[in-house]
Structure 1
Amino acid sequence: MSRAAKGTLLGTTLLCGATVAFVHYVQTSEKAAMHQGVIRDEERRRIQLERKLDFEMQKQLQDEMLKEQSVRDTSDEAPPLKGQ
């Protein structure tokens, strides 16, 4: 084999190896990024569930308070005039 043929073979082999290594690196980093997205989604769902449970608990407390206290709606009444 001539020197030019050996150099070409070596160059293409190194280029092929570098390409495979680069693609492997990119795939690994994309997989890690996708996994972080899943973790963020799970955290978002957990927070959403906590807020929903807090809302339901506040609603129950409000209902209990309304049972114990008499509250009347004054939004239909006319506002008091100044000076009276």
Structure 2
Amino acid sequence: MSSRAKLTLGAAIILSSLTVWGVHFQQTQEREAMYKGVLKDDERRVAKMKQRQQEFEESQRKRELYERVQTVRESGEVSGPS
């Protein structure tokens, strides 16, 4: 085999090896990024649940306050002239 053929073969092997390594590296990076996205989604979901719970508790407090101050009727009751 001539030296030119050996050089071409060596260059092809090196280029192919770098390509394979690059693809695997890129896949690893993408996998890590997707996993971080899942973690962020979980954090957002937990934060949203906490916020909804706080809003619900605030709504309950307001309702209790209003019921102490105002008369509350069932939704089926109709008020008419006395």
Q: What's the TM-score bracket when you normalise by the shorter of the two chains? A: 0.7 to 0.9
Fraction of identical pairs, as percent: 34
Q: Check if 1:43 corresponds to 2:64.
A: no
Query: How big is each residue's C-alpha offset from its partner over 1:19-68, in whole Å with a ceiling of 9 and x where there is no partner?
Result: 01111111111111111111111111111111111111111111111122
AA aligned to 2:31 is K
Moved over 3 A (4+): none
Taking structure 2 as the reference length, the TM-score comes to: 0.79
How many residues of Structure 1 are paired with residues of Structure 2 in the alignment? Answer: 71
CA RMSD of aligned residues (A): 1.3
Taking structure 1 as the reference length, the TM-score comes to: 0.78
Stretches of structure 1 that go unaligned for 5 or more consecutive residues are 72-84
